[in-house]
Structure 1
């Protein structure tokens, strides 16, 4: 049952956190894709596709192509293929190679689909993070959160930091470091949103139960019994007919999923 009083009056968003979460959702896809092809396997169809990977690879190639165009325009020879450019291109090639492997493994088809599969699946870990975290006394229920918010981003950040120290891989290193930070924050935001969603549904359930006691029972306001967990204004109708009518307008039956 949908409780309009809870949704419009009681529930409040932390606007700052919501703004940060919205910004992360706008920018998180490319960094997550960039790292996920190396960190995971067995993706859902709508979480990974070769078109998105190819588009990202093309965008990453644009700075290199722009630099190449300027050198050719100035009459430079093939000396432009410096070690920096070579490793930047090598990283893009490695990214596309892994992306193509995932694409072939998934067996994408426009006319067929296995409807037992979850199309938004974020992939399985390539590394056995559950076993690794268990050795450091991280409980099973916490291991997915620690793996996605801490372990995977830290691993990538360390690799990026090492590459940043080396002059000719500095560009790739900085790219990986920035991506790893956004990667971890994006999963933190996803867990924060999912937790809030569960708590919202639970609070709404509690409010429905306690409102039923107040509006459909024989309780006089403003005093509430000890077993109620909500706060209501003191202008509740006294007549049973009016109480029931108001309750039916506040607590409405859901149509579909909202």
Structure 2
């Protein structure tokens, strides 16, 4: 698609503070999806599933109870298992399901044969998908609310039972919700940018050259002083459009969200 540099440089309102904050939150929240998504999904993409990351989480989950016990002045195993039994049950379940996810990645077709998307976020649980077929949900609501809600409910029950692992589940459920909320927000703005740019390209000549009113041109307008001569306007307008690839070197790849 041709790129309209007037749209990208003048029309779109770039909020770099908001964009950087969203990118940072997205990176953090995506990281904290790992402790729960190995239970929720399967068949991850080769580059999406990180053995190093799940290993680091597993080690952390094994060590944290011991460290906390030492801080409370308790070093005996009875205290450890009495207060962190569900924590260790969760930890061993996490290790088991992480190993299953790793085995699935190994069995999947090679990404180098164009057989699979390497950043695939995994198959959604069939229970959630059945709700989609019944019209009770769509993929967006499943990813943002239902999956995170299931984890939050489990964490809430464990919190009522005064189990320390509840805090992990509650935090991860919120991060799960946040990560997909941000992902869809960024995706929505990406699509709207493309649509707006297409509309501006289609209406540009009538608006810029022929002074067509914006309310008759799907809202397209130009905030600038234009030459009086239509020939000069046409020449200027032609310079607004470039091949998208010509401007790739100026694109830093980050998500920019309008304010």
TM bucket normalised to smaller: 0.7 to 0.9
Question: Aligned partners of 1:75 and 1:211: how far apart in 2?
Answer: 73
Displaced runs of 4 or more, over 4 A: 13-17, 68-71, 74-77, 221-225
Whether contact under 8 Å (2:111, 2:117) holds in the other structure is no
Q: Which runs of 5+ in 2 are unaligned?
A: 252-259
Question: Aligned partners of 1:75 and 1:171: how far apart in 2?
Answer: 16
* Alignment root-mean-square deviation, CA: 3.0
Aligned-residue offset at 1:197? 0.5
Higher relative contact order (CA 8 A, sep 6+): 2
Q: Does 1:123 align with 2:122?
A: yes
Aligned-residue offset at 1:15? 6.5
Listed as ranges, the matches of 1:1-258 within 5 Å are: 1-13=2-14, 18=19, 21-67=22-68, 76-107=75-106, 113-135=112-134, 137-138=135-136, 143-167=138-162, 170-214=163-207, 219=210, 221=211, 226-227=216-217, 229-233=219-223, 235-255=225-245
Aligned-residue offset at 1:224? 6.2
Q: Which residue of 1 aligns with 2:256?
A: none
Aligned-residue offset at 1:172? 0.9
TM-score by length of 1: 0.82
Question: Aligned partners of 2:139 and 2:195: how far apart in 1?
Answer: 23
Question: Aligned partners of 1:255 and 1:193: how far apart in 2?
Answer: 22
TM-score by length of 2: 0.81
Kindly name which structure, 1 or 2, has the bigger radius of gyration based on alpha carbons: 1
Whether contact under 8 Å (1:39, 1:127) holds in the other structure is no
Question: Aligned partners of 1:192 and 1:122: how far apart in 2?
Answer: 17
Question: Aligned partners of 1:86 and 1:227: how far apart in 2?
Answer: 65
The count of residues paired between Structure 1 and Structure 2 equals: 246
Q: Which runs of 5+ in 1 are unaligned?
A: none
Question: Aligned partners of 1:95 and 1:48: how far apart in 2?
Answer: 14
